[in-house]
Structure formats: structure tokens, C-alpha cells
A and B are shown apart, each in its own frame.
Chain A
Amino acid sequence: MGLYRVVVVVSYKKGLKDPEAETIYRDLILKHGYRAVKELRIGKQFTLLVEAEDSEKASSYVRELCDKLMIYNPVIHDIEVTVYS
């Protein structure tokens, strides 16, 4: 058993209107000349410290809890799970 740091990022699906991201992109980033930025998305990050046999088990454990407890809503969100040992 080891401890794994699992980072979950929940962001809005592409194509869904996200006024916060749009405003930051348009009125802050572009307005100040950072034209190389072509897209901005905003997400919520959860960092979990998980005890598991290996990193794959840590990942599937977290994915399961995200699905079952609806940490994200598949109707509107994408989810990204990354494990660090």
C-alpha cells in the first residue's frame, strides 16, 4: 500500500457557454495583448490523498467516487484524473 496524490479537474464541456472564462479571456488576456492564447477554460481542481496498492487502483477508486457521488455532472462537465505517486 502506498499514498498517491490524485488530482481531479472538473471543467465545463467544450461548447458550453462559460461566461467567466469568456470574460477573463476577452477582457483580461486579449485586452492586454496576449494574443498567442487561443482558448481559455476554467475548471475546479480537487486534490485527494489516497491509500492504494498502486497508481492504477488509486485512479479507478477516485473515478468511481467521482461517478457515484457526482463530483462532476456528465451532462455539463468533463473530468480529468491524474495520479502522482
Chain B
Amino acid sequence: MAQEEGGGGIDPMHQFQIEPMFGSWDPAGGSLAFTNSTLWMVFALVAVWLFMLGGMRRELVPGRWQMAVESVTGFIDDLLARNIGPEGKKYVPYIFTIFIFILFANLLGLAPVGVFGMHPFTVTSHILITGVMAIISFGIVLVVGFWRHKHRFFTLFVPHGTPLPMVPLLFVIELVSFLVRPFSLALRLFIAMTAGHVLLKVFASFFIQGMNAGPEMGLLVSLPSLLLMLFVSALEILICVIQAYVFALLSALYINDAVNLH
């Protein structure tokens, strides 16, 4: 990660580079490769699998692990019941999948495995990944909305009690705000993760450069930046959880629009 640039700076964007791990196969101009992004997605999958496996033993008296798993599933169940109502049950698998994948991908990206020479890679810091998840959410909203309400789905864009002359204007405004949803959903997660990781790397580079500049500079610069880095790391863990929750919550609210047509 400490890639030397001109002037001895440390490049904080290097951590987001996608590199093929075992070479790539290029059929017809494209490129298929097992990249570091793929590797960390596999890690997230394995971690989720192990986590869920520990909670699926169906014991009569749940142990600690089972309580942890049940509190997560119960949390998502409750989220959907409160925001969508009794019909929300059908969407629990989707929302739960997206929540737990984002949560594990975010947290694994913060894993301190750099000490062992592995470079942690945050899967959700690429708009390609978050964009695909946002498009799936948006697609569910469109399919469910048109399936259940047919052409009446368009009444979503005209709030109740709108005076007639205002209808065309409001229709356009609501339509634009509806169409922007997948972008804002994808952008929020991707930028929150990117910005947080860049911040951590910038403080880390302050620490290293301060230490290199001698003992008094080390005390003056390195110590405060190390303390600040500790604090920012704790904040990052909080942000990981909040962003996963916000993605799940907003997906649930958008699906609520499609199901209940406010």
C-alpha cells in the first residue's frame, strides 16, 4: 500500500485497485479473471455462511451464537414488519441477504490482516458492486409495483389532494426523484466506504512520515495521528453498520411504495 510517488507521498487510492490474482482469460476482447475483489467476496460469503451455520442448530435453549444470529434475523423481520406491514414477510429473504452481505463486506474490508502481508479489499468501495445491488432493489420495486397495481402504479407520482393545475409539475418532480433513487442508493454506500478508507490511509501515512522525520517530529505528529486513527477506526466500524442498515432500510421503504402505493 505504501506506493512511492513523487515527493515520498503515499498513494491512498492504491488500495482500491482491482488486480487479477492468477492471470486473466480474455475471450473475444473481454477479460475474465479471479481478482482480489472476487477473493474478498468469497471471504464474505464464507464468513456469512459460518455465521449462519452456527445459528441454525435449532436448539431448544439457544446459546450465545444462536442468540446473535436470531437477533439479526429478528431485527430485519421487525424492520420490514414496521415499514411495509404484514406483506413485508415476503421480502425478508432479499433484505436480509443484502443487509448481511453489505455488513460482512464492509467489516472484512476493515480487517487488520495487513500485518500478515494480505491487503484487505473492501468490496463495497466500488460503484459497480453497489450499483448492481441498487439496480436489483429498484428492479424489485418496478416489477412488484407494475405487477400489483398495473397502470395505477403511476399514481405514486401524484400525491393525494394535489390541485389539478399542479399535477403536471408535481408528476415531473416526483418522477425525477423516483428515478434518482438507484443512483443515490449506490453512491451513498460506495462513497462512504471510499472516503472512510482514504481517511484511514491518510492518517497512517502521517504516522509513518512523522516517524521517519525524527523523534521530536514523531512525538508531535505521529502520536496525535495514531490516536486520531484509533478513533476514526472505531467510527468506521460504526459507519459500516449504519450504511448496511441504511441500505436495507431505504430498500424496504422503496418496496413499501410499490406494495402500498402511499
User: Do A and B come from the same complex?
Assistant: no
Taking Cβ atoms with an 8 Å cutoff, the residues of B that contact A are: none
Taking Cβ atoms with an 8 Å cutoff, the residues of A that contact B are: none
